[in-house]
Structure 1
Amino acid sequence: MKKFLSFAFALLLSISVSAQTTLTEAVNFTSTAHNGEEIDLFEILDGGQYVLIDFFFSTCGPCKEYAPRIVDAYYKLGCNEGDVYFMEISPTDTYASYSTDQWINTYNIPYPTIHTKTGGTTGDVIYETYNIAACPTLILIAPDRSILFQDYKPTSANDLVNKLIEVSDGNISENFCGDQEPIVSVAKVKKDNFYIPDGVGVIYEASTKVFVDFRANAAVKDFYYTISESANLTSEDIIANGTKAEGTEFSHTFEGLKELTTYFVYAQAIGYDDANGNKSVIETKTICPGDNGEAEIQLEVMVTDTHVNATAKPNESTADYHFGFVKKEFYDESEENSYKFLISLINDDYPLCDRDTYVVETENIPGNVPYYVVAIGRNGEGEWGAPTVEEFVVEKEAGPAEVALDVKAMPTEVTITATPNIHAVEFHFGLVTKAVFDGTGVESLIQQIRNDGYPASEQTSATWTELTPETAYVALGTAKNLNNEWGETSIVHFTTPSLDALTEIEANFNIYPNPAQSMINIESSLNGKAQINIFDMTGRCVKEISANDMSKVSVNVEDLNKGVYFISIQQDNSYNIQKLVIE
């Protein structure tokens, strides 16, 4: 019941339709912020500043949307040294929780944060005192202690700045601070879709249109944007031939483009000193011709002794489509699984425009296991249709099941990747010290691993931490076939290296953009080959890249869900780990 109530409370806080304070005059509070700053509300007001308070909590979706806009407004209005003093207050986050630091680091919050464990009046008490109905709620308090607005939903940093100037009768003025370079981020639009909720990683493109999001940082006074088939436009070209932006954060549709053509979208930033800032550019591409009807794909599957032939036939409305194979059990297990597969399918970089046949040798498909061929397409307006699903089974005799183990050891942790052969329908793997291995015996350990409650059927990686350097360990794997026959046990002996054997790379790494949406670039002072792994917060390796030249590497991260990740860069016996945020 406690978990249910907490969840219900979180839902209540995230409802924004009634989010506002009922107060018209401020109530004083004194607190010690997360950064150690002592805050006395009335003392700030008596000093002649307006006070902007953002009531938030770190897992609130709309709060994440507004945070970058509020941060940019903070820089545009003087970094708490101008006419407005910014702060944020959480009714749930604590000093001890990872969420507070993660929030501040992810969104680069420069102003004070008050939460439930701060000194003095805590965030939850202030939240109740101001009778806040939900998060996010943004209020502005005037020096005379009157509350000028009880909530506001900014559409951009400029929108918020203009609102503050308006309600203060012009007593608030812009006063840019900080040492930011004027930059406009340009990103392809990711579209929500009925068949693929949230549209995670799904880029919105059309036959004759390109959809782009622009967002200027606080250092940008103005910017110009344009689209071209040329990859070499100069800043002067963009300003002379482009369009001057009417806002700092908006979406734009470029229309009347050629079908199936590569384009480059540019943005040229202008700083407050009227000098040119950074030039931003992204590459995009229009898709094949199609109309605005619903995209539909007809599938035909033929299974022979040696091959599975899947043929896809798109209708006239379909501009392009993708199709592939997936286990029926996985696809049908949950909506989340089917959505994940559809998103991975869409991001396979192999869009098809016409009838096509996908041929797979039967030896590469597990026997007697139901499979689906799944196809999904979009029309000429870039709208995805419903997926088409066709079931098939390759009948064959069950062979010996095996699972191969690949071990990558560091002094205090190891990552094991288990890869089953074609006959394995279920496998398990684990890790023990050699001392336990010698004392317990293989048969007993294998029985324990088979009963671990974590059966797998496709390649899986797991990471063990808090290991002891220079210690012998044994990795074990076991797999069974369709007849429930367990195959030969896989055993890998290894010893963790000493702490001295693996040293942190002394190199300057630059990972950008970070936060990222679709692509990251890694620049370093290193040369030569290196292994790059991306881990999620559970320690699971979600992407592996073998780089031939570490001086500059580009990695596609469109298939990763939003969140915090860690990049491990290993070259010979050296490593470097950095944080990556996907938004």
Structure 2
Amino acid sequence: MRKIIIILFLILPFVGNSQTLLTEAVDFHVKTIDGEPIYLFPLLDDDNYIVVIDFFSTTCGPCQDFADDFQQSYIDFGENTGNVYFMGINWGNDNEGVREFDSIFGLTYPTASGVQGGGNIVFNDFQIQSYPTVVVIKPDHMISNQYVWEPSNANINDAVIEAGGLLVGKKEIYAEQLKVYPNPASEKVNISLPEFKDEIYIDIINIRGQIVYQSLVSSNAFKTTTINLNDFKRGIYTVRTITCEGKLLYQKLIIN
């Protein structure tokens, strides 16, 4: 029976629209290959983390192909020092097998093996249909992205930012295009960006991934817009703009 399940997992990565069947996360407890325990709900409830999980196998080709992409996203969001927590959960191998996989591909984020770390149980609990499956879980336990495909660095970053994740050390990428000032801000904030066609949405997203402000402005009216912050709570937010062409720009906003 176990051989049949493994064969199915090897086949399913090549079938479209594979994903977790859940829309809300269930709690789990795993141990990393170094023996460190990880509990999901405390990460969400106590630490307000956005949790990003790579469900993988050490033997599948796509898992190997995209391992470096997940590692780069882990680095982009601060290596679990920001508001995003990255981890890998394996199916079918033991600690040494996963350790070898991590070493070959230069992976430094926490990983739990399927056999010794509890990964096989989590695969079943999350009803994972294939690997690799990258899921994004918000602090309210909702799964905001059931299947990031393809799991490239850019696609993972977009999915995490959309959930409210904040890039660490990459502000300059967006600062040239999206201007948010003053930052930190208290009473008002100004938002401006280069010329664009048609209309653009401006969203402000809180650390829980919730849109707390949204407006639609035309290209003729939008050079710089000012937003009153009197009704905002203190904290870290993400400013997101979306053009009609689908181009997304992000910038962190701190409200004092």
The residue matched to 1:75 in structure 2 has which SS? helix
Using the TM superposition, give the Cα deviation of residue 7 of structure 1 relative to its aligned residue in structure 2, in angstroms: 6.6
Letter of the 2:144 partner, please give it.
Answer: L
Report the counterpart of residue 220 of structure 2 in structure 1: none
Report the counterpart of residue 344 of structure 1 in structure 2: none
Report the counterpart of residue 76 of structure 1 in structure 2: 76
Letter of the 2:98 partner, please give it.
Answer: T
> Normalising to structure 2: TM-score of the pair?
0.61
Task: Tell me how far apart the structure 2 counterparts of residues 149 and 26 of structure 1 sit (CA, whole Å).
Answer: 11
Report the counterpart of residue 144 of structure 1 in structure 2: 140
Using the TM superposition, give the Cα deviation of residue 124 of structure 1 relative to its aligned residue in structure 2, in angstroms: 0.8
The residue matched to 2:95 in structure 1 has which SS? coil
Task: Tell me how far apart the structure 2 counterparts of residues 221 and 72 of structure 1 sit (CA, whole Å).
Answer: 15
Report the counterpart of residue 56 of structure 1 in structure 2: 56
Task: Tell me how far apart the structure 2 counterparts of residues 124 and 155 of structure 1 sit (CA, whole Å).
Answer: 21
Using the TM superposition, give the Cα deviation of residue 154 of structure 1 relative to its aligned residue in structure 2, in angstroms: 4.0
Report the counterpart of residue 104 of structure 1 in structure 2: 102
Query: In the TM superposition, what are the counterparts of 1:200-211 in structure 2 within 5 Å?
Result: none
Query: In the TM superposition, what are the counterparts of 1:105-184 in structure 2 within 5 Å?
Result: 105-119=103-117, 122-154=118-150, 156-166=152-162, 168=163, 171-176=164-169
Check whether the contact 1:71–1:109 (CA below 8 A) recurs between aligned residues. Answer: yes
Report the counterpart of residue 260 of structure 1 in structure 2: none
The residue matched to 1:101 in structure 2 has which SS? helix
Letter of the 1:156 partner, please give it.
Answer: S
Using the TM superposition, give the Cα deviation of residue 145 of structure 1 relative to its aligned residue in structure 2, in angstroms: 0.5
Query: In the TM superposition, what are the counterparts of 1:420-435 in structure 2 within 5 Å?
Result: none
Task: Tell me how far apart the structure 2 counterparts of residues 118 and 14 of structure 1 sit (CA, whole Å).
Answer: 24
Task: Tell me how far apart the structure 2 counterparts of residues 2 and 53 of structure 1 sit (CA, whole Å).
Answer: 23
Query: In the TM superposition, what are the counterparts of 1:475-554 in structure 2 within 5 Å?
Result: none
Letter of the 1:145 partner, please give it.
Answer: H
User: Residue by residue, what CA displacement relative to the aligned partner does 1:202-234 show, whole Å, maximum 9, x if unpaired?
Assistant: xxxxxxxxxxxxxxxx9x969xxxxxxxxxxxx
- CA RMSD, Structure 1 to Structure 2 (Å): 2.7
Task: Give ranges in structure 1 of 5+ residues lacking alignment.
Answer: 177-217, 223-583
Larger relative helix fraction? 2
Report the counterpart of residue 11 of structure 1 in structure 2: 10
Check whether the contact 1:21–1:130 (CA below 8 A) recurs between aligned residues. Answer: yes
Query: In the TM superposition, what are the counterparts of 1:247-286 in structure 2 within 5 Å?
Result: none
Letter of the 1:78 partner, please give it.
Answer: G
Report the counterpart of residue 209 of structure 1 in structure 2: none
Report the counterpart of residue 38 of structure 1 in structure 2: 37
The residue matched to 2:69 in structure 1 has which SS? helix
Using the TM superposition, give the Cα deviation of residue 155 of structure 1 relative to its aligned residue in structure 2, in angstroms: 5.9
Q: 1:87 to 1:7 in 2, by over 3 A?
A: closer
Q: 1:28 to 1:10 in 2, by over 3 A?
A: closer
Larger RCO, structure (CA 8 Å, separation 6 or more): 2
Q: 1:174 to 1:13 in 2, by over 3 A?
A: same
Task: Tell me how far apart the structure 2 counterparts of residues 141 and 126 of structure 1 sit (CA, whole Å).
Answer: 14
Larger Rg: 1
Q: 1:109 to 1:16 in 2, by over 3 A?
A: farther
Task: Tell me how far apart the structure 2 counterparts of residues 48 and 2 of structure 1 sit (CA, whole Å).
Answer: 36
The residue matched to 2:124 in structure 1 has which SS? helix
Q: 1:155 to 1:56 in 2, by over 3 A?
A: closer
Using the TM superposition, give the Cα deviation of residue 156 of structure 1 relative to its aligned residue in structure 2, in angstroms: 3.5
Letter of the 2:67 partner, please give it.
Answer: A
Task: Tell me how far apart the structure 2 counterparts of residues 37 and 159 of structure 1 sit (CA, whole Å).
Answer: 29
Q: 1:150 to 1:10 in 2, by over 3 A?
A: closer
Task: Tell me how far apart the structure 2 counterparts of residues 52 and 2 of structure 1 sit (CA, whole Å).
Answer: 27
> Normalising to structure 1: TM-score of the pair?
0.28
Using the TM superposition, give the Cα deviation of residue 107 of structure 1 relative to its aligned residue in structure 2, in angstroms: 1.3
Percent sequence identity is 32
The residue matched to 1:82 in structure 2 has which SS? coil
Report the counterpart of residue 445 of structure 1 in structure 2: none
Report the counterpart of residue 179 of structure 2 in structure 1: none
Task: Tell me how far apart the structure 1 counterparts of residues 82 and 34 of structure 2 sit (CA, whole Å).
Answer: 20
Larger relative strand fraction? 1
User: Residue by residue, what CA displacement relative to the aligned partner does 1:473-503 show, whole Å, maximum 9, x if unpaired?
Assistant: xxxxxxxxxxxxxxxxxxxxxxxxxxxxxxx
Using the TM superposition, give the Cα deviation of residue 162 of structure 1 relative to its aligned residue in structure 2, in angstroms: 2.2
The residue matched to 1:81 in structure 2 has which SS? coil
Using the TM superposition, give the Cα deviation of residue 144 of structure 1 relative to its aligned residue in structure 2, in angstroms: 0.6
Check whether the contact 2:48–2:139 (CA below 8 A) recurs between aligned residues. Answer: yes
Report the counterpart of residue 94 of structure 2 in structure 1: 94
Q: 1:154 to 1:9 in 2, by over 3 A?
A: closer
Task: Tell me how far apart the structure 1 counterparts of residues 5 and 136 of structure 2 sit (CA, whole Å).
Answer: 29
